Amino acid sequence: MTPIRGLVVGGLLLLCANAGGAAPAQARSDVDSLLLEARALIRQMRISAAEERLRLVWTTGDASAEQDAYARFLLGIVAHERRDADAAERSYREALERSSSTATRAVAQSNLDMLATERARYAAYAPLRTRLDVWLAIECAVALAVACFVVRVSR
């Protein structure tokens, strides 16, 4: 009954879909198929399975520079979906620095921008916990003061 409307997933997946064209044509087929598989798994929201495929890209050691960059971009999405903003930012930046493909660079930059927007949005909520801690401290202090007052006046 309850959809929790996410902030990022639609955009991420669209960007991921657009990045399909960014897969390097000259890449070796096994790495290519791993990347395509990882991308499909991300679209199915099977994040752990996608990450496993991406780890295999580096395990094989056959990835070209462009494939490596695209794998890092996909790994950024995996981290982004897990709400690990720092890891996502790191991966997107690595993809941006290492890729020579215009398409991959464009989507990595776009996702970085999206991440910054999200961080700014949640920055507004970050003080909530502090505010709650302060309120709790004030309430405890008031309760203590009332208790002391009652004890004192009724002595």
Report the interface residues with other proteins, using CB under 8 A.
1-7, 9-10, 13-14, 17, 40, 43-49, 81-86, 116, 118-126, 128-129, 131-133, 135-136, 139, 143, 146-147, 150-151, 153-155
Nearest CA to 19 among 120, 85, 101?
101
Nearest CA to 71 among 129, 16, 125, 5?
16
Which residue number, 69 or 88, has a Cβ lying nearer to other proteins? 88
d(CA 23, CA 20): 6
d(CA 106, CA 129): 36
Which residue number, 65 or 143, has a Cβ lying nearer to other proteins? 143
Chain mean position to CA 13: 12
Q: Cβ of residue 151: shortest distance to other proteins, in angstroms?
A: 7
d(CA 73, CA 80): 10
Which residue number, 68 or 81, has a Cβ lying nearer to other proteins? 81
Q: Cβ of residue 27: shortest distance to other proteins, in angstroms?
A: 21
What's the token pair of residue 70? 């695209």
Q: Cβ of residue 57: shortest distance to other proteins, in angstroms?
A: 19
Which residue number, 44 or 60, has a Cβ lying nearer to other proteins? 44
